[in-house]
Structure 1
């Protein structure tokens, strides 16, 4: 009996995710002067350790409730609404999402998650802490649900080399019995599958759009939104963030009928952009004002900024 009780505890800990996640950002009901945004080949950082690769995105910066204008000073002041985008997450980025965000709660017992791919499946390894660290291993298939979520079907799960599926059958319980969904944001459970909403699983600014494809691509996951890969908005730049029309706030300025473009100063690799430290990057860049009052800013990668380039963001 002690062994069965310990085994049940292992299963409960393995399948219980963090309960406190970022709530869904609420877009303003009737936003005015919404700026258009085009993004190409950008490593978009939510934090120093949490990022996604935006291959291409076309959309709008929609202010959230309580904000009249999207502000780079406040990442929660807007959402990124898109009808055409491709976003790539490497297995390392997905593991960082798990370790530094989804499983960051002190109540989460799964740590040191490592993710790889095998064909069209994900292979997940990590440690589970219950007195002593216990290794776990899982294989999972990817799919989409009709309500715009990513479905991760668990095909094989083992904890300390014991098959979890067999343990569930032994106890006569399901995954829904193991996972408390009260207050859970961005993740839920359906049978033996996890359902992840990528629009709420990340910190602000969250992405809004219809997911039309998800697949394993090499050592990464490729997400397609709406019509897929949009055409490049600027043929002269390779990596950039371009904002046109509407109103945008940055620093102490507010730009109406916006025409602002941040261009990677080292285009050989993706534009490494960290929104919460965007001002540090702009300070280190070169700004050009055009005759029609547009701004063109050549910006260095965040990873290449000097250690004391500007005051840290609060």
Structure 2
């Protein structure tokens, strides 16, 4: 009887492996190089993207602070920036950050606390990270159960395999987020225990080679938020990951909350060095963006910032600084009008 049960278990696992093996991108016949080791590198690999080929200009960083800002990564998903201190730096050959091109700059965080709901994270994974037909997953949904994430979805292939997993989040030593799988089901059947007994790891089943910012490490997934999430990329060393009040909270630096972050003021501040907004270039930036509806958190979309500024008003300070009062993105009735003029 025991032998029959073992054979049945091996059959089930073999079936799952055959299904999963179809999710890895096919190798070219002429490519004779050995497959990369599933072990994660000690530091994030340098992705050969245009933004990282040429290092940012030295000394061109714009001091950046954010307080109580809903920062949209897509039209449908936003992060809650409780506080952030760092620099906005030009990427590649760009001489300065250009608000009309969100790939022209990155936000390098030294201290910060940024949270996202599981629903917003799932939306970004489906619409951005796993949107390609060669990605291993689709139809991701995420929920929170106490201090764990419950992740459901489908493995791509000729026959899509439903899966669900329970995972915990921690910060890795090199500043990435580690997703550690505790339970795993495929076709609604538990397979994690069987994988452990047979010495089979997640890294051998799922390929993440075409997903910038994501690598497998044995049974874990390592995520580099600076590469994984949509532009403008937010980069920095993650020191802790928490689950609080149905949100995933990412801590940068020591997590010490600045005194100014305790008040209800909501703003983004950019100080020093050049920055460009449309036809306006500030050689020595002195720009603060606030909510036109005082008392509410600023709801900001980099894709539609012109529409938000047009719907608000601006003031010039005695030192020729600019204070822009923007309409919340969620309150805009439409947005294509000014976007169509972006290249004019």
Per the TM superposition, whether the score is higher than 0.5 is: yes
Q: For residue 88 of structure 1, give the secondary structure of its aligned residue in structure 2.
A: strand
Distance in 1 (CA, whole Å) between partners of 2:96 and 2:108 is: 15
Superimposed CA distance per residue, residues 251-290 of structure 1 (whole angstroms, 9 cap, x where no aligned partner): 1111022111110122444311111211111111111112
- In the alignment, is the contact (CA less than 8 A) between 1:31 and 1:63 conserved in 2? no
Q: CA deviation at 1:182?
A: 3.5
- 1:113 aligns with one of 127, 137, 140: 140
Matches within 5 A, 1:13-92: 23=49, 25-26=51-52, 28-92=55-119
Name the one with the larger strand percent.
Answer: 1
- CA distance change for structure 1 residues 237 and 243 in 2, over 3 Å: closer, same or farther? farther
Q: CA deviation at 1:104?
A: 0.5
- In the alignment, is the contact (CA less than 8 A) between 1:211 and 1:226 conserved in 2? yes
- In the alignment, is the contact (CA less than 8 A) between 2:136 and 2:208 conserved in 1? no
- 1:252 aligns with one of 265, 279, 282: 279
The equivalent residue for 1:7 is 16
The equivalent residue for 2:251 is 224
Superimposed CA distance per residue, residues 140-163 of structure 1 (whole angstroms, 9 cap, x where no aligned partner): 011121111111110001122112
What is the RMSD of the two structures over their aligned residues, measured on CA atoms? 2.9
- CA distance change for structure 1 residues 68 and 219 in 2, over 3 Å: closer, same or farther? same
- In the alignment, is the contact (CA less than 8 A) between 1:25 and 1:79 conserved in 2? no
Structure of higher RCO (CA pairs closer than 8 Å, 6+ residues apart) = 1
Structure whose alpha-carbon radius of gyration is higher = 2
Q: For residue 310 of structure 1, give the secondary structure of its aligned residue in structure 2.
A: helix
- CA distance change for structure 1 residues 244 and 179 in 2, over 3 Å: closer, same or farther? same
- In the alignment, is the contact (CA less than 8 A) between 1:212 and 1:225 conserved in 2? yes
What count of residue pairs does the alignment treat as equivalent? 310
- In the alignment, is the contact (CA less than 8 A) between 1:42 and 1:271 conserved in 2? yes
Residue range with higher mean Cα deviation, 233-242 or 135-144 = 233-242
Q: CA deviation at 1:234?
A: 8.8
Q: For residue 200 of structure 1, give the secondary structure of its aligned residue in structure 2.
A: helix
- In the alignment, is the contact (CA less than 8 A) between 2:315 and 2:323 conserved in 1? yes
Q: CA deviation at 1:10?
A: 3.5
The equivalent residue for 2:226 is 199
Which stretches in structure 2 are left out of the alignment for 5+ residues? 1-9, 26-46
Q: CA deviation at 1:202?
A: 1.1
Corresponding position: 1:142 with 2:169: yes
TM-score scaled by length of structure 2? 0.80
Which stretches in structure 1 are left out of the alignment for 5+ residues? none
